[in-house]
Amino acid sequence: MADSDMFKNFKEHSVAEFFKKNRQMLGFSGKVRSMTMIVHEFVTNSLDACEEAGILPEIFVQVEELSKDSDHYRMTIKDNGPGIPKTHLARALGQMLAGTKFHRYIQQRGQQGIGGSACVMFSYLTTGQPTRAVSCCNGRRISANIGIDFKSNKPIIEDIGEEPTLETGLTVTAEFKDVRYERSNHGVYEYLRRTALANPHCAITLVEPNNERVAFPRSIEQNPQKAFEIKPHPLGIGTHDLLEFAKHNKENRRISAFLQNTFSRVSAGKVDELQALIPELDFKKDPADLTWNEAELIVKSFSKVKWIAPAMDSLVPIGKTQVETSFRNIFNPEVLVVTERSPKVYRGGIPFMVEVGIAYGGGLVSAEKRGEVMRFANRVPLLFDNGGCAITETIKSIDWKRYDVKNFDEEPLAVLVNLASVYVPYTSAGKQAISIEEDIMDEIRFAVMEASRGVQKYLSGKRKAHEIATKKKVVGRYASQLATDLATLSGKKRSDIEPKIAKIIEEKYASEPGEEEETGPAGESSKKEDNPDSEGGDE
């Protein structure tokens, strides 16, 4: 075969065409999962927008069944956020990899600029219908039908309307087929329930296909601390990354200034250290003229310099008070222990932190929750891809018997794990599982072990209290007979002897160790430093 024949079908394709053929990579695989992913993408966008604008989020989700035979639904997601300006509306919802998130080094729920446009794509693929978007922004109400041109990855926008308004927010209405609504552990209801658990500042209303209205009310009248953008840390940078930064640098004409202004923790003193390590490189040259070999030398030198850790106050966890409030509102557990680890870094320069809440008993019994693992990343529920997730793998590796939990899968136990980071290493574009990063798994393990010790203390105290009560009851059965026998032998009145015997029994079992733990902790928090576990590892 001639070369010309071999390459006659050689074509260039857009990212939209790629995801059109590979929609499972975005999480659209399976009918229940696909519906949940649609809600997930729009709700996370709404939460990010509201929080960045300083607005307490109110989110409305309605699912309408149009045809049971073809699994045909209409979905409406509405928020009270700042809305999207007219100039950006079409691209925000109709163009892959377009948005405010992919290029920023800031803790957000979304990361790629794919989610909203992926839902618009999925709607068009399954029904042939565009998505109706209504954006109330800057005093104007803009409405439009939006689709995607797959060949060019460009938005198609039609039927544009505009009028004045005092409202703010975004409403998206779209039809979907090949989806299904179920009240299951992976459905929309469970996703929103967990979203409310991790975001108690948000009010969520769900209208189900049977018109039943479910409200997840706001329990905290304050937004979490606002995340702020940080610069990348030198230890998280590769050679190609450095060259890309240098290529797009417009302000700095010297490598020395470029390094100080582009990366965090790079001072003039650190530049001097780098220059001493690379005497052959002129740090006065234009960054745009950097070669691959020179960039590689700089990156290698980064690893030889002692750096201050990245800024950690850029991380926004759920928070101890919020976790406790949410758990009590939803489950009202018998015991609750919350642990928040100190911030750490992975891959050398990406800041992250882990928080864990473990609840036992109480409402978990009536809700029939057994060994439930609730995974979150930046306060977003992760309902799918359990098997390949760092959180699941870490929890499986823990010896739960050591913490008086005989069988994790059968105990009324719920473990919440949230990873907060400016960059979450998801395993796929669907953002439902965290990759196996050793540093992250270690922190999850240490946090779970710390919280487990609080639960163990409670269970141990409860068990001891039960043993004491049993002993006391057994001995108490013989008190009356003993009083009668002693009265016969001593000639004293039985009525005088029996209260004294009862008092001796009370004093005996009141002094038994462990009784002081009978009620256990109603809630306990723990914030540890680098010492992972005073009892050693689980391995």
| Contact of 284 with 256, CB cutoff 8 Å | yes
Neighbours of 439 (CB within 10 A): 14
Report which of residues 378 and 510 the model is more confident about. 378
Span 311-539 CATH architecture? 2-Layer Sandwich (3.30)
**Which residue in 175, 177, 182, 173 sits closest to 32, CA to CA?**
182
Q: Given this model, what pLDDT does residue 9 score?
A: 59
Report which of residues 65 and 117 the model is more confident about. 65
| Contact of 450 with 356, CB cutoff 8 Å | yes
Q: Given this model, what pLDDT does residue 60 score?
A: 98
Cα distance from N-terminal residue to C-terminal residue, the chain: 59
Q: Given this model, what pLDDT does residue 101 score?
A: 46
pLDDT tens string 436-471: 999 999 999 999 999 999 999 988 877 676 666 776
CATH number of 234-302: 1.10.8.50
Say which range, 168-172, 260-264, 287-291, 463-467, has the weakest mean pLDDT: 463-467
pLDDT confidence tier of residue 429, bands split at 50, 70 and 90: confident
pLDDT confidence tier of residue 113, bands split at 50, 70 and 90: low
**CA 523 remoteness from chain centre:** 22
- Every domain of the chain with CATH number 1.10.8.50 lies at 234-302
35 pLDDT more than 80: yes
- Every domain of the chain with CATH number 3.30.230.10 lies at 311-539
Average pLDDT over residues 214-242: 85
**Which residue in 101, 74, 95, 69 sits closest to 16, CA to CA?**
95
Average pLDDT over residues 400-407: 90
- Average model confidence (pLDDT) across the chain: 84
Q: Given this model, what pLDDT does residue 522 score?
A: 45
Average pLDDT over residues 214-227: 87
pLDDT tens string 46-78: 998 999 899 999 999 999 999 877 899 999 999
pLDDT tens string 464-523: 766 667 766 777 777 788 778 777 888 788 787 778 877 887 777 675 544 443 334 445
Supply 198's token pair.
Answer: 């991790």
- Every domain of the chain with CATH number 3.30.565.10 lies at 15-216
Report which of residues 539 and 319 the model is more confident about. 319
**Which residue in 310, 235, 300, 322 sits closest to 523, CA to CA?**
322
Report which of residues 509 and 184 the model is more confident about. 184
Q: Given this model, what pLDDT does residue 271 score?
A: 93
- Helix (H, G, I), strand (E, B), or coil: what is residue 539? coil
| Contact of 157 with 90, CB cutoff 8 Å | yes
HSE-CB for 137 with a 13 A CA cutoff: 20
| Contact of 145 with 158, CB cutoff 8 Å | yes
358 pLDDT more than 90: yes
| Contact of 312 with 343, CB cutoff 8 Å | yes
Say which range, 36-50, 307-321, 394-408, has the weakest mean pLDDT: 307-321
Q: Given this model, what pLDDT does residue 92 score?
A: 87
Q: 169: left (phi > 0), else alpha (psi -120 to 50), else beta?
A: left
* CATH fold for the domain made of 15-216: Heat Shock Protein 90 (3.30.565)
